[in-house]
Amino acid sequence: MNLTLKVWRQKNRSAAGEFATYQARDIIPDMSFLEMLDVVNEEILAQGHEPFAFDSDCREGICGACSLVINGIPHGGNKGVTACQLHMRHFHDGQTITIEPWRASAFPVDRDLITDRTAFDRIIASGGFISAHTGGAPDGNALPVSKPDADKAMDAAACIGCGACVAACKNASAMLFVAAKVSHLGLLPQGQAERYDRVVKMVETMDNEGFGNCTVTGACEAVCPKEISLEFIGRLNRDYLVGSLKK
């Protein structure tokens, strides 16, 4: 396969960015998208030019680092996959592919395709944990959890914090991310003591970080590589209302 890539290049946060065009030649259809980018970067290096920067780590769809907007859609638009799990067989020979970083004021572009997503870390630090000292690990069956609650908690815990929900949202809202983190702990017995304080603190931090409001368009759910449900946003809203009244 031979492809044309239009890649966003930006030196640093304060620099003006622009698209640069590169040719991807002799691409094997079974390559992952990131492997294809590696091949192109090797050719750029061989020509004596500076390669473009992009994030990756596990390349197994677990870490969420491969934050790329591909042809206008976070992670490329294939349901339930991250950019590193996207394979070149989903494109066709001669196609032009546009590659951009996440676009959100809360995710500033550090360089080229790399964005600073530490706003998510600060949201987690504000309340996405259980602070009770429990001593040694209890027996796995010591705290019974109903099957429906356990299943929902696991669904919420699947969130990898990639930020695709923010990149897809017209308001750059982080509600799906926060809802998943709040619901994961709020559905478990260990998370009940801080349930309502947690949601108020995390939502306040989310707002302070500059994320937009949720208008429930569903774009976040559509692009989420772990298919986190909008149902969790409804759960967050209910807990936030109770937490605000308690506060």
- Residue 196 banded pLDDT, cuts 50, 70, 90: very high
* Same-domain pairing of 211 and 123: yes
Q: How wide is the angle at C-alpha 189 spanned by C-alphas 186 and 173, nearest 5°?
A: 10
* Same-domain pairing of 14 and 31: yes
* Same-domain pairing of 179 and 238: yes
pLDDT digits 0-9 by tens, 84-119? 999 999 999 999 999 999 999 999 999 999 999 999
* Same-domain pairing of 127 and 79: no
pLDDT digits 0-9 by tens, 42-95? 999 999 999 999 999 999 999 999 999 999 999 999 999 999 999 999 999 999
Flag whether pLDDT at 199 surpasses 90.
Answer: yes
Q: Counting beta carbons within 10 angstroms of the beta carbon of residue 108, is it exposed (0 to 12), middle (13 to 18) or buried (19 or more)? A: middle
Flag whether pLDDT at 135 surpasses 70.
Answer: no
**CATH number of the domain residue 8 falls in:** 3.10.20.30
* Same-domain pairing of 95 and 125: no
Q: Is 95 helix (H, G, I), strand (E, B) or coil?
A: coil
Q: For residue 147, what are the domain limits?
A: 118-132+140-246
Give the distance from CA 54 to its chain's centroid. Answer: 15
* Same-domain pairing of 241 and 124: yes
Q: How wide is the angle at C-alpha 8 spanned by C-alphas 4 and 11, nearest 5°?
A: 135
* Same-domain pairing of 219 and 125: yes
**CATH number of the domain residue 200 falls in:** 1.10.1060.10
Residue 173 and residue 164 in contact, taking contact as beta carbons nearer than 8 Å: no
118-127 and 175-186 helices cross at what angle (nearest 10)? 30
**Which residues on neighbouring strands pair with residue 7, listed in sequence order?**
20, 99
Cα–Cα distances (Å) from 4 to 63, 67, 101, 208, in that order, read 28, 20, 18, 40
* Same-domain pairing of 229 and 123: yes
Give the distance from CA 51 to its chain's centroid. Answer: 24
Distance between CA atoms of residues 191 and 184, nearest Å: 9
Residue 105 and residue 172 in contact, taking contact as beta carbons nearer than 8 Å: yes
DSSP state of 244: H
Residue with tokens 């004596």: 48
* Same-domain pairing of 43 and 59: yes
Distance between CA atoms of residues 218 and 244, nearest Å: 25
**What is the model's pLDDT at position 138?**
67
Distance between CA atoms of residues 125 and 205, nearest Å: 9
* Same-domain pairing of 11 and 102: yes
Residue 97 and residue 4 in contact, taking contact as beta carbons nearer than 8 Å: yes
- How many C-beta atoms surround the C-beta of residue 6 within 10 A? 14
* Same-domain pairing of 123 and 204: yes
Span 183-212, average pLDDT: 95
* Same-domain pairing of 90 and 207: no
Task: Report the domain count for the chain.
Answer: 2
